[in-house]
Homo-oligomer: A and B are copies of this chain.
Amino acid sequence: MSLVRYCVNGRLVSGVSPTNRGFAYGDGVFRTMRLLDGELQDWPLHYQTLVADCSKILMVCPSAELLMQEFKSLMSAGEDETKLSGVVKIIITRGDGARGYAPPAIAEPTRVFVWSPLPVYPEAIYTQGVALYQCQTRLASQPLLAGIKHLNRLENVLARAELKDPRFFDGLMLDYQDQVVEAVSGNLFIRKAGQVMTPILDQCGVAGVMRQKILDWYKTQGQPVSLTRLTVQDVLTADAVIITNSVYGVLQVTQLDAQPLAHNDWAHTLRTQLHYVVH
């Protein structure tokens, strides 16, 4: 039996129509976040990002009130323990549509919440860090969709399918200009001579909410992160490298393929500074 539970437009139905534009064309956006002690972590920032991403693909994001109401109706239908913790994915699509790419004149966005249990990570990913493999799959440059967490994720699927050796936690993705962009399922920062840097994501990649939290935090410290272009060489010669996402938080990267990377307590420190609770 599946441990996953979901609702569509606030109802516990068996699925979405195959004519839904999310299914037909990947015509929508999504976000994944943790539910801890009954609270959706960083919901205001996730919602703000959903609104911005919807707007970039010419959709209007449903109101935060509607989304919270539908989320609560999903949670109230669950077993007790699932009301308190888990991973919650919210998907907003351009709704049902007739055949053809043309967006409906008046689109009624579809709202989907998917709850699943919190992943169980080995403790070592926090205490010892993780290894990345360098993906053969490159990201295409498409400024119109860069940064958006949209539903067109075949590149990530192909990149993740390259992982055969379970000693690697995630992959490092480059674009066709040999620039480092992100991890398959997270963002990447490096630190070198005191300067924190992360790829600019104006051509491809997903701008994660944890990435934004880190950018915001360094800004409040008067040490803005440099949004820049990075090469594999920059990663290999950094003083420290981290990957970030809303589920695992911040992880130290200690290896790229067979190559060890310099590392320190940056990830641990950042988790503390951002009040990230290891679940």
Contact = CB atoms under 8 A, between A and B. Distances in A.
Contacts of A159: 101
A227 interface: no
Contacts of A99: 4, 32, 87, 89, 114, 116, 119
A10 interface: no
Given A27-B157, A103-B161, A155-B142, A16 B15 contact: yes
A270 interface: no
A13 B4 CA distance: 19
Given A23-B23, A26-B26, A27-B157, A18 B112 contact: yes
A1 to B, nearest CB: 13
Contacts of A261: none
Interface stretch (A76-84, A146-154, A249-257): A146-154
Given A99-B87, A142-B140, A185-B101, A25 B161 contact: no
Nearest to A89: B99
Contacts of A94: 157
* Chain A contact patch, size range: 35 or more
A20 interface: yes
Contact of A151 (B26, B100, B101, B145): B26
B18 A157 contact: no
A95 interface: no
Contacts of A8: 15, 18
A13 B14 CA distance: 9
A208 to B, nearest CB: 14
A54 interface: no
A133 interface: no
Contact of A184 (B6, B91, B101, B157): B101
A161 to B, nearest CB: 5
Interface of A: 2, 4, 6, 8, 13-27, 30, 32, 57-58, 87, 89, 91, 94, 98-103, 112, 114, 116, 119, 137-138, 140-142, 144-145, 150-161, 163, 176, 184-185
Given A16-B18, A101-B185, A142-B155, 20 more contacts: A4-B99, A8-B18, A15-B15, A15-B16, A16-B17, A16-B23, A20-B23, A21-B157, A23-B23, A24-B91, A27-B153, A27-B154, A87-B99, A89-B99, A100-B160, A103-B160, A138-B142, A140-B145, A144-B158, A145-B154
